[in-house]
Amino acid sequence: MQILQPIVHETVWGGSFLQPFSYSESESIGHLYNIIDSDQFNNKIIQGTYEGETLHDWFLDNKKKYHLDRFEKLPFLTALVEAADNLSIQVHPDDDSAKALENESFGKNESFYILKTPEMGAMYNGVLTKDKNEFRKAIEQGKTLNYIDKLECKQGDYVYIVGGTLHAATKGTITFEIEENCEHTYRFYDYDRLDSSGKPRQLQVEKALSSLKPELKSQSVPAAGKHIERMYWSEILEDREEVKNNTEVFFFAILLEGETQVKDLKILPGTAVLLEPGDTLILNKNRTVIVGPVVRRLNELFPISYVCESTQVDGRNRKLGVNMYFFIPY
């Protein structure tokens, strides 16, 4: 078992909601990164056999054992996110765009668990025209928002966003986000906000338009149940005294409320606990999200032994049985 120190990321649209879980007095916390293995951020391990090292150190030593050796970094990240103001109107590249624009193998798909309903009762999602040239003219004329569609969403929803989908969380939203580990976000519009140096925040309109798939729009579904996407799976646990890793792979547990204790360390919401096979974490019936990798060895996939009944695969409902294998399209 390894316990990760969460990382505060301040943003122009962040707020103070996450202060109690971050030991920070910042009034502009946008992300509290529970799990992140990137060039810019990397969680420090504060308890466990890797204490004092980083999540990346652990991953490099263990990725072959867990059949993730094709990845240079952990293939997903998670964060608690407060949108005290609207986020930029943005898009992430899909795999093809990531290859063409950044010479990288993977783009970014991501998932939102809605923990607090946005003030407007919706997020921005999708465009109202399939004509990119028409949308380009709208951007140039300062009419971007007139061409943006909305997706109604509320506390208790799960939203899966495929790379190439225009989207933005809106004011008042609090989410738990799971993202594929691609660092590229392209902004269409940012409300003319300034960065910390007083300059207008940079837009990436050409790359955004190149990545945009105008036909794509997301859906909101109930958060309950298991959600299995192409690089990660997740589930929210309610009223469980403990969670034990009975699988052949690792996963993470992150409290969303309350607290628990591991030895002499208090675990608050937003702190990730890495559970390897055989590890057990006491939850004290606190609401908790668990997240793990979808992995395969040779040409078959590991079974995730507790997955049963119905679930979500790449955002679509599927029926699965205990110990079923999942085909993941790469």
Q: Give the residue numbers annotated as catalytic, written as ranges.
A: 187
Q: How far is CA 28 from each of CA 8, 9, 50, 199, rounded to the nearest angstrom?
A: 10, 8, 31, 18
- Find out whether 26 and 10 touch, Cβ atoms under 8 Å: yes
> Taking a C-beta distance cutoff of 8 angstroms, is the pair 86, 167 a contact?
no
- HEC per residue, 229-255: CCCEEEEEECCCCEEECCCCCCEEEEE
* Conformational region of residue 313, where left means phi above 0, alpha means psi within -120 to 50, and beta covers everything else: beta
Could you give the CA distance from residue 273 to residue 262 in angstroms, rounded to a whole number?
A: 10
The contacts of residue 199 (CB under 8 Å, 6+ apart) are: none
Contacts of residue 284, defined as CB under 8 A and 6 or more positions apart, other chains included, come to 241, 258, 259, 260
Which secondary structure element, helix H or strand E, spans residue 184, and what is its range?
Answer: none
Rounded to 5 degrees, φ, ψ at 96 are: -65, -45
